[in-house]
A and B are shown apart, each in its own frame.
Chain A
Amino acid sequence: MIPDLSVEIGSLKLKNPVMLASGTVGYGNEISEFMDLSKIGAIVTKSVSLKPRKGNPPQRIVETPAGMLNAIGLANVGLEEFIKTKIPFLKEVNSTLICNIAAGSIEEYVECTRILDKEEIIKAFEINVSCPNVKEGGLIFGNDVKAVGRITELVRGVTNKTIIIKLSPNVANIADFAEAARKEGADAVSAINTLVGTSFDIYTRKPKIKNITGGLSGPAIKPVALAKVLEISRRVDIPIIGIGGIMNWKDAIEFMICGASAFQLGTVNFVNPAAGVEIIEGLINYCNKMSITNITDLIATYKI
């Protein structure tokens, strides 16, 4: 029997809970050579900003134990180019498209959302208030509960589509941020973005990435991400999209048990660009084995 894998995030219905995380699938073209994107629940675009961003100078990445640090610096083509050259391909992919937005000011978040709201193919917005690698914007907002609330409120004012606020783990109480987002009308939160980290060369004593610090991702952060998802799940009544170190279907199930309604695959796409479809297979087998007919029956079923 094929279990029902469909899930709902606010008004957004996904054929399954597998999403591809922002910044780890570009705009879909390359990864489509490795798997059938129409099987994937949703694709989240690389963060789009109002104007193009060149991003940080090299070196931008370094491998760390069971993970990696990145300081890409939100390199992206900018909103205009995104609409002109990236959306046409994404229209042909029969998957749900979520547009991730990054900005340097509250006004820029609102302006981006307002313009992109007209693109019918975009079904939801993921608001990135948590990028650790740019000076202005990103974490400055992500660290400030009031700013997160305000951004949510204003973005809510310009779109009726699903709004997901992507939260930073680099805060004391992530649930406070989820609560602020909920109160101001967000449909869901996604957690987590990367953790601030660094790495030095012991012979030259220089940082291995030019930006000095970067965002840690990959299996190394999974326990932290799970704890954050669990914290939100226990305190705030809002759908959660779990992100952080998922490498296989077992990791994904663990996130759902800890409270995630859906989950995103990030770094794993670099290592195994077919992971998305493999995980769907794994979910089906698990549901069958556990006699689960609707995958939603798993969400937040932790026994504590």
Chain B
Amino acid sequence: MDIYKIIVVSNTALQENVFLLKCLSSEIASKILPGQFCNIKVSESDFPLLRRPFSICDVEGDYISFMYEVHGEGTKLLSHKKEGDLIDLIGPLGKGFNYKSEYETAIFISGGIGVAPFPYLTRSLDGSIPYKIFLGGRTENQIHTYGLHNYEISTDDGSMGYKGNVVQLFEKHIPLLDKSKIKVFGCGPNPMLRALKELCLLHEINCEVSVECAMACGFGICQGCPIEKAEESDKYYLVCKDGPVFNIKDVVI
């Protein structure tokens, strides 16, 4: 990890409030792994003060991109960055997905903007392993298919794809899969991850998730981002350093 000032190549709206920020940085592009994140200073002033963590969305050559939803002051400022602007960022941070381990089929499950790490993750499989993606959202405009292939969609209101939540959609597919030979990668809001955990424990499915958490530093010095360990312990994991990717069995979500 290091501090970089990198140049914005584009910052385009994918949906009304979802953007793709693309920057040039050969250093980060050559180092960052799927599931890791960068901590971006969205403003040059002291307000907002803290950096904002964003998962790496994609890496193509020397270009890196981040997908983000505008939901507060910080992300609003980020959405104003233009081609040629400089962005101050710390990265790569955290531990990414263990996508190279033993399994025969990869399953990706996302809720809303939780899809952000999947373009790079699926690209990194490099065609070596068959995979399927399940994308969920409350409504149609929470479905983001940028950089993805092989997906099925669910929306809570039925405005697109299967009507219901994405964990239910995945559950319908379980009978078609060899449970012992798949690995699930999940990212999304906590209620979705909790449902996913229950399902994966029930079916004894191997699953890794990327969790979200408020962060101050993003690299392990503030202790601001604890997550409870599943086994009784006198310590917490730190999301920014021990995660953000965890085996779903290891943490209380």
Contacts and interface: CB of A to CB of B under 8 A. Distances in A.
Interface string A4-36: 000000000000000000011110001101100
A26 B221 contact: yes
A25 B46 contact: no
A271 B227 CA distance: 22
Interface string A56-86: 0111111101111010100100000000000
B152 interface: no
B189 interface: no
Contact of A70 (B2, B222, B241): B222
Contacts of B3: 34, 272-274
B27 to A, nearest CB: 14
Contacts of A58: 213-214, 225-228, 236
A54 B234 contact: yes
A270 interface: yes
Interface stretch (B48-56, B62-70, B101-109, B115-123): B48-56
Given A57-B228, A269-B217, A273-B90, A24 B49 contact: no
**Majority-rule SS of B interface residues:** loop
Contacts of A24: 221-222
B224 interface: yes
Contacts of A33: 1-2, 219
A54 B221 CA distance: 15
Contact of A219 (B46, B213, B216, B217): B46
Interface residues of A, number: 36
Interface in B186-222: 213-222
Contacts of B50: 63, 68, 270-271
Nearest to A58: B226
A105 B2 CA distance: 40
Contact of B2 (A34, A54, A61, A68): A34
Contacts of B90: 273
A63 B225 CA distance: 13
Contacts of A259: none
A247 interface: yes
B80 interface: no
A72 B214 contact: no
Contacts of A61: 214-216, 222, 224-225
A129 B166 CA distance: 50
**Majority-rule SS of A interface residues:** loop
A290 to B, nearest CB: 25
A30 B46 contact: no
Contacts of B2: 33-34
A70 B47 CA distance: 17
A72 B51 CA distance: 19
A207 interface: no
A64 to B, nearest CB: 8
A267 interface: yes
B213 A267 contact: no
Interface in B1-28: 1-3
A34 B220 CA distance: 13
B228 A23 contact: no
A51 B159 CA distance: 55
B183 interface: no
A247 B44 CA distance: 12
Nearest to A74: B223
A281 to B, nearest CB: 15
Contacts of B225: 58, 60-61
**Interface-centre pick from B215, B221, B235 (highest chain A CB count, 10 A):** B221
Given A34-B2, A58-B213, A219-B46, 7 more contacts: A46-B223, A60-B214, A66-B46, A72-B224, A269-B217, A269-B221, A273-B219
29 contacts: A24-B222, A26-B220, A26-B223, A30-B241, A34-B1, A54-B234, A54-B235, A58-B225, A58-B226, A59-B214, A60-B214, A60-B223, A61-B216, A61-B224, A63-B214, A66-B47, A66-B49, A70-B216, A72-B224, A75-B236, A218-B46, A219-B46, A219-B49, A267-B216, A269-B221, A270-B222, A271-B49, A271-B50, A271-B51
Interface of A: 23-26, 30-31, 33-34, 46, 52, 54-55, 57-63, 65-68, 70, 72, 75, 218-219, 247, 267, 269-274
Nearest first, the 8 A-B pairs at minimum CB distance are A270-B217, A61-B224, A26-B221, A219-B46, A270-B216, A30-B220, A66-B46, A72-B223
